[in-house]
Structure 1
Amino acid sequence: MKPAPFEYHAPAGLEEAVGLLAELGDEAKALAGGQSLIPMLALRLAVFDHLVDLRRVAGLRGIERRDGSLWIGAGTTQAAIQRSAEVAEAVPLLARATPLIGHFQIRSRGTIGGSIAHADAAAEYPAVALALGAEFEAMSPRGGRTIPAAEFFTGMWTTALADDELLTGIRFPVRPARSGYAIEEFARRHGDFALAGAAVAVELDGPRIRRCGIGLFGLGPTALRAAAAEAELAGADPAGVDAEEVGRLAVSALESVPADLHGSAGYRKRVGAAMVARAWQRAVQEAGDD
């Protein structure tokens, strides 16, 4: 099939792009890397009268330190993130998640902002953002605002972005001392969307856990935080924590777990618990070695 007819726009600057999206309203869709949007248009799972191509908007690309955080422009490609020594040093969980996304052809065009704004429940980046407590910068004709990751993902393919807002950048906290990170996922083939996965970030204060972030993907209508498990682990001595119990607690309260020909809801929960346990073990070990 081919996409339904649409009018193409290629703004040169951020203000022009935001103005177009506000003017055209629901009839327009921002086009970043297009790795999710174009297949949906081709299959006519989505139809828009206008596409606003963001590739010429230079202000949406880049990786730099800002006020103790690592800022990544929403238009930065996944391949650029994968190559970045700055990302590997400052936000290792993001660096480790990136090679799991599709294949290199997809990563060469797909963008971090496109992945996050698309909010696919099985995507890696949203879970990483939740585990790390990232913040999202958005721009509209009314000005800019910052949205915490915990408030951003609202449902299946939906976010807290208003109709006239554009995601412009993501701020990740820079890796502190005595911290560890791991991401684990189970997919039928490399590059497929994960049936279940977990991103874990652990920070130690002396012998105890100062902060633990657990992001889950493939286990609900959107990426989720395992809040009950995080609360249980705060202040605990990791030496006395059973990894399998962490996995069970992380998935115990899950609702609306998907079920399809690849696996039942119960199967996905068991796989998810195993992914959490593996990621937890690796993250704790790294934090202890730091």
Structure 2
Amino acid sequence: MTDPLATVASRLAPVFAHLAGELDAEVRAAVADPVVRPSNRADAQVNGALPLAKALGANPRDIAQKVLDKRPLVGIAEAEIAGPGFINITFADDFIGAELSAVVDDDRLGVHRAERPEIVVIDYSGTNVAKEMHVGHLPSTVIGDSLVRIHTFVGHKVIRENHIGDWGRQYGMLIEHLVDLGAEPGTHLSVGDLDAFYKEANVKLEQDPEFLERSRRRVVLLQSGDPETTALWTSLVDVSTEHFNRVYDLLGVLLTDDDLAGESRYQ
């Protein structure tokens, strides 16, 4: 489907070029554009008669009338002159119907491919390890996925990225709490368990200075790649990722494990 505004512009451009024919080439190039824009007073508005009239030393309404006298929009739209020389455009029903019929028969529904495909990075969802997803994640997840689909459809190369929270002091705190509870790598946990343990660990952190110090040491162990700490951290990420994927499947979004880009990547 051709943009209706572009159709109007293409029909009017030769008329504007003819009227500007005696002007200097540089001036002619600047004022021969019909300047078709959306309008709140009609379907569209042609504003080019004003700069063309100024260049010609003529009345803008007279220039607008000369444009319409050439009947360039027959079968496309009704046109009337308004104000100092604007041309208000109201598209004909038959024209709109024909354009819509063409869209219905088009596999792409009239959506053109991008002339210059680009690389587009879309960071969305942004969940946190060891915490259940909540309603606050829905806008980013759903809108982000919609943008991914739109940009892909028009031909851009889209990089999906889910920048999850999976690193920092809070994970040293949670892992230390899990160790206190007797958890080991491979212990079966749900994300609901982790959410509850996270809250318990926060309370303990505020009330127990010794636990605070152990949590700090655990962060250092995590950052230095201690095998036991890393294994427990990995289990947190795995359990959380399974939870995220169940929600993503329910929502029908495109995010996969390959799109994860946790804070741990930048440690």
Q: What's the TM-score once normalised by structure 1's chain length?
A: 0.18
Bigger CA radius of gyration: 2
Structure with more helix by fraction: 2
Q: What's the TM-score once normalised by structure 2's chain length?
A: 0.19
Structure with more strand by fraction: 1
